[in-house]
Amino acid sequence: MVVHDSLLARLHDKTLVVEAAKVGTRWVYNATDGQRFDVHNPSTGVILASLPALSAGDARKAIADAKKAQLSWVKKTGKDRAAHLMRWHRLWIDNADDLATILTAEQGKPFTEARGEILYGAAYLEWFAEEAKRIYGDVIPAHVENARILVLKQAIGVVAAITPWNFPNAMIARKVAPALAVGCAMVAKPAAETPLSTLALAVLADRAGIPDGLFSVITARSGAEFGREVTSNPDVSKITFTGSTEVGRILMRQGAEQIKKLGLELGGNAPFIVFDDADLDSAVEGAILAKFRNAGQTCVCANRIYVQSSIHDAFVAKFVTRVRNLKVGDGFEPDTVIGPLINRSSVAKVQDHIEDAIKQGAVLLTGGSPDGGTHFVEPTVIIGACASMKVATEETFGPLAPIFRFDDVDEVIELANSSEFGLSGYFYAKDMARIFKVAEALEVGIVGVNTGLISTEVAPFGGVKQSGLGREGSRYGADDYLEIKYICLGGQSA
């Protein structure tokens, strides 16, 4: 297979698309059994490229190379590691248009949104390059007169990363940046739908002089075999996973035998609450952003929109007007706001949620039209949503906005928290006492107050309840890749 012309023709640097995997110190073009899998453009259905379908043996080789590379990498100074990461960051920025083109081609999101993701991903590299020099330990006043107590923070070792298809650049960026900054090595497996973006980063890592073996990208048709290898391989010290709660549970079970350290960024079911004192226009804009970014395929997407009764009709009227103007189309068309969903089963899930809600009495105000066999789904708004509907309990992961009506603050807090997920939550209000009450009461890791955009490299990202373990980004994000060691120095003078 040769990379499809529709992708190559758009690239300034065609060498950024590779039909190979980075296994430790080598680029591997063919699997030993010759198996391959295709990467599709979800807008057009064309096959963009074909990649070797690697096996557990290849992952094992990458882990062994990573172990060797990590031993030297961790000895470098923070300043030296930072310089490597900043070279990579520079190339990431310089090639932003091409990286965004690859991302739109394999994932479908609008090009401007894809470019935003590339810059967002690069920001993690810059942030953690800066942090590499500041991995401070501690000195603790000792418990006896002739002792001294030191606390060291040490790189955990070889980290395996498994990432989803919805943010093929940013999800790997949030992991590889802190891991390499503190002195770890990483073996990554991107989702089978969107591996080209991660492979392009590996090409740039080579150009930046990131030492061989430190960042592997294993291409595989399915994640299960890789998951079994990394949960059972004693040379993997930690697994960092972003994806569904279901797969997170599998990794936890598999990792139990070796008490594998886990970082889990899992599913969400975000409430988005509009109180009667909110600025309605900005609440509508916030809801559009929080609901429809990436066609509703983000873990922090507003999944349930609760609007207070007295402003319900006014909010709905403005919101529906805005939604009707969101253009659906190929991500390379300049005015597209909503691209395709990633695959047919995602389309089927959204349709199932719409049908289930309507069967239970919800009213369709816009969208919901049949998609004619493509991956495109019209942005859809329904009102009259209630707790027994699938839209209330499951992550829709598509452009469906269900609106629930509520009367008072305590009622909506209870409704918002009635989910096993706890990643993000949003609300619009002006009253300060109400803002603190609701922000503190929401059982989530991230709260957006009067904003629909919450992700940034400078703040800790992660969930509570069944949305995961650990945090990515900010000064807390390095901790996931560090172990704390305490040294008790006896025999000192009193």
- Residues 100, 161, 201, 247: which binds ligand NAP (CB under 6 A)? 247
Verify whether residue 299 is a known catalytic residue. yes
- Annotated catalytic residue, options 299, 301, 395, 472: 299
Give the span between the Cα atoms of 288 and 320, in whole angstroms. 10
Give the other-Cβ count within 10 Å of 104's Cβ: 27
Residue 387, φ and ψ in degrees, nearest 5: -65, -25
Task: List the beta bridge partners of residue 52.
Answer: 36
User: Under the criterion CB under 6 A, does residue 243 sit at the interface with ligand NAP?
Assistant: yes
**Minimal distance in Å, beta carbon 161 to ligand NAP?**
9
| Residue (88 or 226) nearer to ligand NAP, CB | 226
Cβ distance 159 to 186 under 8 Å?
yes
Binding mask 278-317 for ligand NAP (x = CB under 6 A): ---------------------x------------------
Find the largest Cα–Cα distance for the chain: 81
- Residues 19, 58, 229, 265: which binds ligand NAP (CB under 6 A)? 265
Amino acid at 238: K
- Residues 47, 71, 224, 348: which binds ligand NAP (CB under 6 A)? 224
Residues 447-476 that bind ligand NAP (CB under 6 A): 463, 468
Task: List the beta bridge partners of residue 39.
Answer: 49
**Minimal distance in Å, beta carbon 113 to ligand NAP?**
15
Binding mask 141-180 for ligand NAP (x = CB under 6 A): ---------------------xxxxxx---x---------
- Annotated catalytic residue, options 113, 265, 378, 457: 265
- Residues 201, 266, 274, 429: which binds ligand NAP (CB under 6 A)? 266
């401007």: which residue's tokens?
A: 112
| Residue (24 or 463) nearer to ligand NAP, CB | 463
Stretch that binds ligand NAP, among 48-56, 151-159, 247-255, 380-388 (CB under 6 A): 247-255
Stretch that binds ligand NAP, among 107-115, 204-212, 243-251, 359-367 (CB under 6 A): 243-251
Write the Ramachandran bin of 81: left for phi over 0, alpha for psi from -120 to 50, otherwise beta: alpha
- Residues 244, 366, 374, 417: which binds ligand NAP (CB under 6 A)? 244
What is the CA angle 290-241-71, rounded to 5? 130
Task: List the beta bridge partners of residue 405.
Answer: 307
**Minimal distance in Å, beta carbon 221 to ligand NAP?**
7
Residues 333-392 that bind ligand NAP (CB under 6 A): none
Regarding beta strands 380-383 and 363-366, do their DSSP bridges make them parallel or antiparallel, or are they unpaired?
Answer: antiparallel
| Residue (52 or 243) nearer to ligand NAP, CB | 243
Give the span between the Cα atoms of 335 and 349, in whole angstroms. 26
| Residue (73 or 226) nearer to ligand NAP, CB | 226
Give the span between the Cα atoms of 305 and 29, in whole angstroms. 47
| Residue (54 or 122) nearer to ligand NAP, CB | 54
| Residue (267 or 286) nearer to ligand NAP, CB | 267
Verify whether residue 457 is a known catalytic residue. no
- Residues 8, 64, 142, 250: which binds ligand NAP (CB under 6 A)? 250
| Residue (164 or 368) nearer to ligand NAP, CB | 164
| Residue (298 or 308) nearer to ligand NAP, CB | 298
Q: Which is nearest to 29 in space by CA: 209, 199, 190?
A: 199
Residues 395-424 that bind ligand NAP (CB under 6 A): 395, 423
- Residues 15, 72, 77, 222: which binds ligand NAP (CB under 6 A)? 222
b (16+ CB within 10 A) / e for 357-392: beeeebeebbbbeebeeebbbbbbbbbbbeeebbbb
Task: List the catalytic residues.
Answer: 265, 299
Chain positions contacting ligand NAP, by CB under 6 A: 162-167, 171, 189, 191-192, 222-224, 226-227, 242-244, 247, 250-251, 265-268, 299, 395, 423, 463, 468
